[in-house]
Chain A
Amino acid sequence: MAIEDDVTVVGGGLAGLTTALSAARAGAQVRLLSHKDSTLRSASGLVDVLGYRPESAAEATAPIVDPFEAISDLPESHPYSKVGESGVRDALALFDEVVGDAYQGSHTDRNALLATHGGEVKPTARYPASAAAGLTSDTREALLVGFETVVDFDAPLVASHLESSGVPFDVRGATVRFPGDFRADAKLTRLADALDSDERVEVREETGSAGYAESLPARQALAEVVKPHLDGAERVGFPALLGQHDPAEVRASLESELGAAVFEVPMGPPSLPGMRLEGKLLGACREAGVRMTTGNPVVGYETAGGTDDDGDRIAAVRVERNGAAIPFHAEQFVLATGGLVGKGIDSNRSGVREPIFDCYVPHPDDRYDWFAAEAFGEHPFARFGVETDDDMRVLDAGGESDFSNLRAAGAVLGGFDFAATKSGAGVSLATGRAAGLAAAREVSE
């Protein structure tokens, strides 16, 4: 009489996809409900496990060398304490298997150091293969190439940021025009498509009054634009737009044209590395039989109703669709809706809440205690989120499970500042896997 599955996961980001995949591979019939397309499109594509210790996050002192070693030192409140080091390792093994050779970093426990598009150096556990030649621990001389119309990446500025942070290599930045007659506001994906298909683009000789135009394959044309700036650099970094579907081949072509290693610098949204990662995870979910329903928000839930015994079990979540409420039934539910930014946690002048199940979110009564005075201080709001037991079951204010069949994973969890500690992706993977497996285990019992 209804749409019914074993496990329903609410949220389509990294945590939700990992939950759904883990539960489905464990044999459950899983449905993933997502309000919009996956938020991975806004993700850099870097997968952090733990970059900084929480106590030193505000000062941003030395990054952690071995994140796995540091997990046991984390405070009890950090979600990693629910899954332990082995839970994090198992989740990364799952990730490595899904992404295959599109990612690197699994050869060592140590964090890699990568340049961001703001010119910072960031510790991370896994990185797209397309970014591999850009490691800042590498001593080869680097040229960064930006494009006039891709304003989120100012290559000379990024280069000077990196230099001043003391990277062990010479780095220069150059801004060039992307070859071809693309509009000034051409979509990143349009430029990536041009490189994917290596379509012929018009290249104009800009010097000289006569001027002539010739048409070249896009990859070759791009290499020609970069060559005058190369000046002996052994590697060349571009904003992450080197192909949407076939980045390895685009990179290989550019490398052979330039005679230098080529890498991408991960960018903000819309992020091609994020989209590629979304593609990998969606493909794995589809293969595992996960059903996906996207387009409308989950706004509430139904309990089995009537008897008091069933009051603590969720029977269905309700999806809002233009004034109608569509129920999706399941035996087990996992909340993976994200944190304050992802709208999984909401606040107003009177308090902080989790909007779907009204789960308990610990927070100070006085809202002036929600934040620190300094912009980059240790803000309590960054740690707002729901609490769970060791089986990822959501807890109420008294430390009892809220609903016996509701778990949570990812940024909706409280007790950690994912941005300051650089542990967001790792938490999503590890708690998503744990919640998915636990939900599937209960279904099979």
Chain B
Amino acid sequence: MSEIEDSNDENTVREEEAVENDEFEPVQVFPESEEMDLRPGSDDCYKCSTCDTNCPVAQVDDEFPGPKFQGPEQWRLKRKEDHDIDDSVMSCSNCMRCDDACPSDVPLSQMHNTARGEYVESQMEKLSQEYIRNRILANYRTMAELGSKVPRLTNFVMGLGVTKLFNEKVLGITSEREFPDFAEETFREWWSDRGGPKVRSEDKRVAYFHGCYSNYNTPKVGKAMVRVFESFGYEVVVPKQRCSGTPMFANGMLEDAKRAAGINVENFSGLIEEGYDVIASCTSCSMSLRQEYPELFSFDGTASVAAHTYEALEYLRLHEDLEAALEAGEVEAGNFAYHAPCHARNQGLAGQPVELFESLDGATAEDVGPSCSGISGTYGWKEEKYDASMQIGAEMFDHMEEAEGEVGMTECPTCAMQMEHGTGYEIRHPLEVLEAALVE
């Protein structure tokens, strides 16, 4: 946010006008800061505490002081050198619902990300179980890359009771959850076997950010994305990419995130110059490229990637007559119990399938309400957070059971895990339904 807002900062405009009109000379009170300065955002907080009432963690965890403390208050405290960052920042799940609640546009999640990064960097014991566990969880891609080389063996080993016991006792990863299966063929393997793009176009070009999950675990989502976009005449390219950084931000592993983001920005910003827009099928990936990158990093091209990244359905709605196409289509999919991920909500994308399926015969999506699913990526995988994660999710589970459909739907892979874990429902991605409706 900082970069984009700085470029058209209202204060700059005001100062110039003021000098012209009133010979008013503003005094620079604070020295130019070399590091990220969130003070203006912090000063925008007028302590209404609305963010606290929207925080799913504060609702179930009485030890958690809430986003107002983690954001503006902690920001002030940590400006003084004699104050450590409170370790409760590690209990923030980075759902970002506080951002949506704030009537004063305080960059709460940005403050949380920087505080958490600083905490992990300077206060967390690097040999502790927590650090090692978090580092492993945050770097899911590294684990997945290894595991997916021998998917059947990995799936077998990960499912073993002894593995789960080890994970829980030694690493602090809950044994309550089933590890997601690795696909026998990754999305990228499929893509290269297929010989890359089947459609070439000069003016309709998208670069697909598949993220880790649709590459290693649910390649059917990636394939659906490619086929749907190709059916609309888009040239799809799949550049080399790293993790979007979402799990790294949430675990305060900012150096890891910076490395991954640097590679992603470099690989995608070049394509943007050639007329490609960036498409993500995971709403946390698009959130990361759009908002967290410009808030936290300043590589060349960061702002350009942020401005050119879209979620898949959003992009089609903006550039194609998707509703007409769906009206002509037909599926036998039935009713879905749809959960809007928090990160979709923050991008203004909540409920897209609900709206779109209104024009599609044979599929409806029923919104199961605005609550958080509770898993928040790696959060619900932590042994000590599992119970809170399930308590947060309880409202969504109830609403799913009340909904007519017996199949769940969401755009976020970890929300999908939680939905399945809490209800036993099979969970689909909206792109899979679009593929069934639009692609022969």
List the interface of chain A (C-beta within 8 A of B).
1-3, 36-37, 39, 41-42, 181-183, 185-190, 193, 268-270, 275, 291-296, 319, 321-324, 326-327, 348-350
Q: Count A/B pairs, Cβ under 8 Å.
A: 116
Q: Which residues of B contact A324 (CB under 8 A)?
A: 306-308, 310
A-B contact pairs, 20 of them (CB 8 A): A1-B320, A1-B321, A41-B50, A42-B48, A42-B103, A183-B63, A185-B66, A269-B49, A292-B350, A294-B345, A295-B347, A319-B348, A322-B290, A322-B294, A323-B306, A348-B10, A348-B13, A348-B17, A349-B14, A349-B21
Do A270 and B52 touch across chains, with their CB atoms under 8 A apart? Answer: yes
Write the chain B residue with the least CB distance to A327: B318
Do A2 and B100 touch across chains, with their CB atoms under 8 A apart? Answer: no
Do A37 and B101 touch across chains, with their CB atoms under 8 A apart? Answer: yes
Q: Which residues of B contact A323 (CB under 8 A)?
A: 4, 294, 303-304, 306-307
Which 8 pairs show the lowest CB-CB distances between chains A and B?
A323-B307, A295-B348, A269-B48, A189-B53, A270-B53, A322-B290, A322-B306, A187-B52
Q: Could you give, for residues 287-319 of chain B, a 1 whenever the CB lies within 8 Å of some chain A CB and a 0 otherwise?
A: 000110010000000011011111000100111
B355 interface hit (Cβ, 8 Å): yes
Write the chain B residue with the least CB distance to A269: B48
Do A296 and B306 touch across chains, with their CB atoms under 8 A apart? Answer: no
Do A275 and B53 touch across chains, with their CB atoms under 8 A apart? Answer: yes
Q: Which residues of B contact A270 (CB under 8 A)?
A: 48-50, 52-53
Complex-state Cα separation, A348 to B13, whole angstroms: 10
A270 to chain B, nearest CB (A): 4
Complex-state Cα separation, A322 to B349, whole angstroms: 14
Complex-state Cα separation, A183 to B58, whole angstroms: 11
Do A182 and B4 touch across chains, with their CB atoms under 8 A apart? Answer: no
Q: Which residues of A contact B308 (CB under 8 A)?
A: 324
Q: Which residues of B contact A37 (CB under 8 A)?
A: 50, 54, 100-101
Complex-state Cα separation, A39 to B24, whole angstroms: 35
Q: Which of B1-53 contact A (CB under 8 A)?
A: 1, 4, 10, 13-14, 17-18, 21-22, 24, 48-50, 52-53
A325 to chain B, nearest CB (A): 9
Do B103 and A349 touch across chains, with their CB atoms under 8 A apart? Answer: no
List the interface of chain B (C-beta within 8 A of A).
1, 4, 10, 13-14, 17-18, 21-22, 24, 48-50, 52-55, 58-59, 62-63, 65-66, 69, 100-103, 105, 290-291, 294, 303-304, 306-310, 314, 317-321, 345-351, 355
Contact partner of A190 among B1, B17, B62, B320, CB < 8 A?
B62
Q: Which residues of B contact A321 (CB under 8 A)?
A: 290, 347-348
Q: A190-B59, A350-B17 are in contact. List 12 more A-B contacts (CB 8 A).
A: A1-B319, A37-B101, A39-B103, A183-B62, A183-B63, A190-B58, A270-B52, A294-B100, A295-B100, A322-B1, A323-B4, A349-B18
Q: Which residues of A contact B17 (CB under 8 A)?
A: 348-350
Q: Which residues of A contact B346 (CB under 8 A)?
A: 295
Complex-state Cα separation, A350 to B304, whole angstroms: 33
Residues of B contacting A: mostly: helix
Write the chain A residue with the least CB distance to B15: A349
Write the chain A residue with the least CB distance to B55: A187
Complex-state Cα separation, A270 to B98, whole angstroms: 13
Do A291 and B50 touch across chains, with their CB atoms under 8 A apart? Answer: no
Complex-state Cα separation, A181 to B62, whole angstroms: 9
Complex-state Cα separation, A299 to B407, whole angstroms: 38
Q: Which residues of A contact B59 (CB under 8 A)?
A: 187, 189-190, 193
Q: Which residues of B contact A296 (CB under 8 A)?
A: 347-348
Complex-state Cα separation, A37 to B317, whole angstroms: 24
Complex-state Cα separation, A382 to B274, whole angstroms: 51
Complex-state Cα separation, A104 to B68, whole angstroms: 34
Q: Which residues of A contact B66 (CB under 8 A)?
A: 185, 187
Contact partner of A269 among B50, B291, B347, CB < 8 A?
B50
Complex-state Cα separation, A348 to B1, whole angstroms: 23
B317 to chain A, nearest CB (A): 5
